[in-house]
Amino acid sequence: MSSTANSRRDFLRLALGSAALAGAGGMLSQGTALADRPAVGPHRVPPGHIGIQLYTVRSLMTHDPQGTLDALGEIGYATVGVSGLYGHTPQEFRAMLDRAGLRAVLTHLSLDAVRGDWQRELDNAHVLGVDSVVVPSLPSSLWTPDGYRQVAAEFEAAGRAAREAGLRFLYHNHDFDFRTVDGQVLYDILLTETDPAHVNFEIDLYWAIHAGYDPVDYFARYPGRFPVFHVKDRAPDGSFEDVGYGTIDFRRIFRQRRLSGVKEYVVEHDQPQDPLVSARRSFDTLWSLRF
């Protein structure tokens, strides 16, 4: 076995071992995330649709992308959301995913990418094997009604091209998207001025709730437009938390799966102390959750 293979094997063993120990300690110190919550209904998140945004493990991906992907597969994740290729070609990155037994369901691409060689980006998305291309954020220069109307028109064109290429085009929200400017909620402009056939949404549940809005209300107002959930929990002080260890009632939200149109559940933690411990804790919650 090569030294690279040995180091990757050691990385995987140590990472998963520390995750298991720390996870167990967390469960003992905090109580299990689910033990005191009675199961409601027969439904659960489909195991093949439990994913993680690789932004969560970005510090590890920088040093050992294959070892990190292997570790996520060992935890039990079936899918990932891609957040950059860490210096690799789409072909190389796809090969690493395949070796880890993971499927990429989405890739985050900047607004500049949309405005650039969009066809090349769509071609690269096909190499990665994703279902969706996602713009993850908008610059502050566009945080006005006119800016969002401009972006809505750009998204329409990009979404039409994506659909023709057999892909979904989505937008991922932050809290700033829910600002009210001149009497208009910016996020609502994107929803009302785009065609569901071309543009839909990866709703970040944390950021919507952090901004004071109820995701379920959006599902009722715009049914079927949220095929991807970014599943991120919120601590009582407003900071990020592992899924199941914060304040968000995921059962209530997930029960509206038909109304929302959700297909993929993608874990994310923006600032984990230990990325793999966080990844395991969040996975265990989604794996066990009944709603």
Contact 264, 105 (CB under 8 A): yes
Q: Work out the pLDDT band at 42, boundaries 50, 70, 90.
A: low
Strand partners, 103: 79
Query: Residue 52 has what pLDDT?
Result: 99
Claim: this prediction has a pTM higher than 0.95: no
Closest to 199 (Cα-Cα) out of 232, 230, 233, 173: 173
Q: Give me Rg for the CA atoms of the chain.
A: 19
Residue 224 falls in which region: left (phi positive, over 0), alpha (psi -120 to 50) or beta: left
pLDDT of residue 96: 98
Q: pLDDT digits over 103-158, tens only?
A: 999 999 999 999 999 999 999 999 999 999 999 999 999 999 999 999 999 999 99
Please write the tens of the pLDDT for every residue from 195-249. 999 999 999 999 999 999 999 999 999 999 999 999 999 999 999 999 999 999 9
3-state secondary structure of 45: coil
Nearest to 96 by CA among 121, 76, 70, 74: 70
Pairing of strands 103-108, 79-82: parallel
pLDDT at 22: 38
How many H-runs (helices) and E-runs (strands) does the chain carry?
A: 13, 12
